[in-house]
Amino acid sequence: MIRPNLVASASAVVALSLVAVGNAEAQSSRAWISGDHHIHSRWSVGWDTETDPPTAIKGGDAIYPIAMNATMARYYGLSWMVGTDHGGPNHSKVNREQAYPELLLSRKAVPEVVQFYAMEFDTPGADHSSMIMPHTHDEAEKLEELESSFAARDAWPRDPTRNTEPKMIEALEHMRDMDEPPVVIAHHPSRSADSIGVYGLDAPAEFRKWNNTAPNVAIGMEGAPGHQAVVFRATGDSVTPGPRGAYGRQPTMGGFDQMTARLGGFWDSMLGEGRHWWITANSDSHVNWREGGADFWPGEYSKTYVYADRAHDDILDGIRGGRVFVTLGDLVSELWVTAEAGGAEAGIGGELEVSSGSDVQISVRVLDPAGENSHGDSPEVRRVDVIIGEVHGHLDDPTVDTNPTTAILQRFTRSEWSRDGDYIVVNVTIPNVGQDMYVRVRGTNGDELEPENDPPTEDPWDDLWFYSNPIFLTVR
């Protein structure tokens, strides 16, 4: 509503009205579109270390041309993808001079898939990350500058100071101040963890420092890592022992990293500080399982859905803004979570201001798609969990990885939800809200009340979950 004291003339009212109409039209074209932000091509190279500097070997790690990845992404229903080739000595030149021209050709060959320029950043002092560039005329030059200046392995001769946490903070400060900053998403954050809460290359204090430094850049982590087809490696479609996600120490939990999967764990501790720290899912595709690799094709198993228009800018805006849910095995294809109070509402990634003492209505609509997934199954949602937690501001101890206020508000099974056509519908009330809080939703096709450690013989198609990003409720 336009208030009279906010406008100075009738012409201003008209101008504001036109802007409102334009914004509504822009939002009306948005839909849940799926993608993958962690995909390797043949420009994730091997290295001949007998030369000085080492010589890049095309296809030495991942093997597919970029257009092949895009073609398979299209085949498996993706609308967008991010190529994330990782580095090594002078890899910034490989990216700029060889990978980027191939990306330009791929964009023309497979225009149905919105394709981003990016890399798997050799994160200083940490594990890898997606570094996704905004789509600009000088995207290649900007990525080359960032990789050559900050990537831990790009310098030759080797520079030990590159692989330090202070160097990452310097990199984030630089990215934060760019006119069009990239997005950084931490990869497989607990793959190097020894056990629950005993972290490796990535740790809670580190992620907090990243987010403090550049909250518009360091926006989240992989909730569900790639390499989920490791049990099928070179065996056809039969399962042989292997850790999902290549998590050889502390297993994944329902296909998700412990930092996400533990109720009241690290992710909830970040949300409890009010941080916009989002989760994603991806393939980490290098070599498909049918050809002896450990990977599904982009979109074959994991999907990250973004509520966005089919355009680079809006997709990246959706990722940065948390308008995201993730799913495994095509368990769901739409997830609408809405918080409503006093005539106002907010959706996934949003914030709703509520008066103290208000009741907040939470509505969940889930589309369990008809037909078969890429494994020939038609999995069914068996339970939907609505999860809440308190928001209390930043903690004094940055190593904390728990939020004791996180709880299941209510679990819903078939007998407890309703149907609206093809949609599963869940409604629940949070009464008398007097504290800032967040709401998030997850669901599964299984019977586990909480995701358990994945055994090395588990077929990933049998244990499927979906997760929404949160809605924040702010009491005024």
pLDDT digits (tens, 9 = 90+) for 119-128: 999 999 999 9
Is residue 301 within 8 Å of 229, Cβ to Cβ?
A: yes
Report the pLDDT averaged over residues 101-105: 98
Is residue 224 within 8 Å of 267, Cβ to Cβ?
A: no
Confidence of residue 27 (pLDDT cuts 50, 70, 90): low
Closest CA to 130 of 114, 141, 110, 146: 146
Q: Is residue 260 pLDDT above 70, yes or no?
A: yes
Report the pLDDT averaged over residues 405-410: 98
- Tell how far CA 72 is from the center of its chain: 20
Q: What are phi and psi of 212, to 5 degrees?
A: -65, -40
Q: For Cα atoms 131, 171, 210, give the angle at the middle one, nearest 5 degrees.
A: 80
Query: How far is 386 from 412, CA to CA, in rounded Å?
Result: 8
Cβ contacts of 381 within 8 Å, gap of 6 or more: 331, 332, 366, 368, 424, 443, 444, 445, 466
Q: Is residue 4 pLDDT above 50, yes or no?
A: no
Alpha helices in 321-452 (DSSP H): none
**Token pair of 195, please?**
């056990």
Per-residue pLDDT at 233: 76
Lateral strand order in the sheet of 423-433: 344-346, 334-341, 358-367, 423-433, 418-420
Per-residue pLDDT at 41: 98
Specify the 3-state DSSP secondary structure of 263: coil
pLDDT in tens, 38-54: 999 999 999 999 999 99
Q: Is residue 15 pLDDT above 70, yes or no?
A: no
Query: How far is 278 from 304, CA to CA, in rounded Å?
Result: 11
Per-residue pLDDT at 168: 98
Q: Is residue 3 pLDDT above 50, yes or no?
A: no
Report the pLDDT averaged over residues 229-233: 90
What domains, with CATH codes, occur in the chain? 30-475 (3.20.20.140)
Q: For Cα atoms 355, 358, 361, give the angle at the middle one, nearest 5 degrees.
A: 120
Confidence of residue 240 (pLDDT cuts 50, 70, 90): confident
Which stretch of 16-30, 211-225, 325-339, 357-371 has the lowest confidence by average pLDDT?
Answer: 16-30
Specify the 3-state DSSP secondary structure of 373: coil
Query: How far is 401 from 204, CA to CA, in rounded Å?
Result: 7
Report the pLDDT averaged over residues 173-177: 98
Closest CA to 474 of 393, 387, 410: 393
Query: How far is 394 from 191, CA to CA, in rounded Å?
Result: 26
Query: How far is 288 from 104, CA to CA, in rounded Å?
Result: 24
Per-residue pLDDT at 16: 33
Report the pLDDT averaged over residues 25-34: 80
Closest CA to 373 of 405, 337, 330, 335: 330
Q: Is the backbone of residue 36 left (phi > 0), alpha (psi -120 to 50) or beta?
A: beta
Give the residues across from 442 on adjacent strands: 385, 467
pLDDT in tens, 288-337: 999 999 999 999 999 999 999 999 999 999 999 999 999 999 999 999 99
Per-residue pLDDT at 235: 66
**Token pair of 351, please?**
């914030």
Q: Is residue 267 pLDDT above 80, yes or no?
A: yes
Alpha helices in 179-285 (DSSP H): 204-213, 258-261, 266-271
Q: Is residue 98 pLDDT above 50, yes or no?
A: yes
Per-residue pLDDT at 239: 80
Q: What are phi and psi of 435, to 5 degrees?
A: -140, 140
Q: Is residue 408 pLDDT above 60, yes or no?
A: yes
Report the pLDDT averaged over residues 179-185: 98
Q: Is residue 26 pLDDT above 70, yes or no?
A: no
Closest CA to 113 of 140, 76, 154, 145: 76
Report the pLDDT averaged over residues 246-260: 97
Q: Which helix (H) or strand (E) holds 339?
A: strand 334-341
